[in-house]
């Protein structure tokens, strides 16, 4: 059986990639993708801990399903906003949105 620490390392790696992406990408779609990575890192953790701690009713798996559903909904809202901004400003990069800045 694959030791738990492998999963944790994988999820930590994914989380760091996600954070790095969210902090450095200027493209809003890239940021959205990075946030998905962060969420999935959390999902891996949930599923792995569920398996190793042996919770009988599969609580961790249910939670990760919740996260996936909510992430999908969040992506939809995020994409809608991105499209709306794009239509208005013709820009996909965060440093292009300077309307509130003087």
Rounded to a whole number of angstroms, the minimum distance from the CB of residue 61 to other proteins is 27
**CB-based contact 31:94 (threshold 8 Å):** yes
Rounded Cα gap, residues 61 and 43, in angstroms: 8
Specify the residue, 26 or 89, whose C-beta has the smaller distance to other proteins.
Answer: 26
**CB-based contact 38:19 (threshold 8 Å):** yes
Specify the residue, 37 or 47, whose C-beta has the smaller distance to other proteins.
Answer: 37
The residues that touch other proteins, with contacts defined as CB under 8 A, are: 19, 22-26, 31, 94-95, 97-98, 100-101
Specify the residue, 35 or 48, whose C-beta has the smaller distance to other proteins.
Answer: 35
Rounded to a whole number of angstroms, the minimum distance from the CB of residue 51 to other proteins is 26
Name 27's bridge partners.
93
Q: Which residue has 């990575």 as its token pair?
A: 37
Q: Which of 23, 37, 49, 101 is nearest to 75 (CA)?
A: 37
**CB-based contact 26:94 (threshold 8 Å):** yes
Rounded to a whole number of angstroms, the minimum distance from the CB of residue 94 to other proteins is 6
Specify the residue, 35 or 47, whose C-beta has the smaller distance to other proteins.
Answer: 35
Rounded to a whole number of angstroms, the minimum distance from the CB of residue 36 to other proteins is 15
């Amino acid at each position: 059986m694959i030791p738990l620490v492998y999963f944790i390392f994988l999820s930590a790696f994914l989380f760091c990639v996600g954070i790095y992406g969210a902090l450095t990408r200027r493209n809003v779609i890239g940021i959205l993708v990075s946030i998905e990575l962060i969420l999935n890192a959390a999902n891996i953790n949930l599923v792995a801990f569920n398996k190793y701690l042996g919770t009988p009713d599969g609580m961790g798996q249910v939670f990760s399903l919740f996260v996936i559903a909510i992430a999908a909904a969040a992506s939809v809202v995020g994409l809608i906003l991105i499209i709306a901004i794009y239509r208005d400003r013709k820009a996909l990069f965060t440093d292009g949105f300077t309307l509130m800045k003087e």
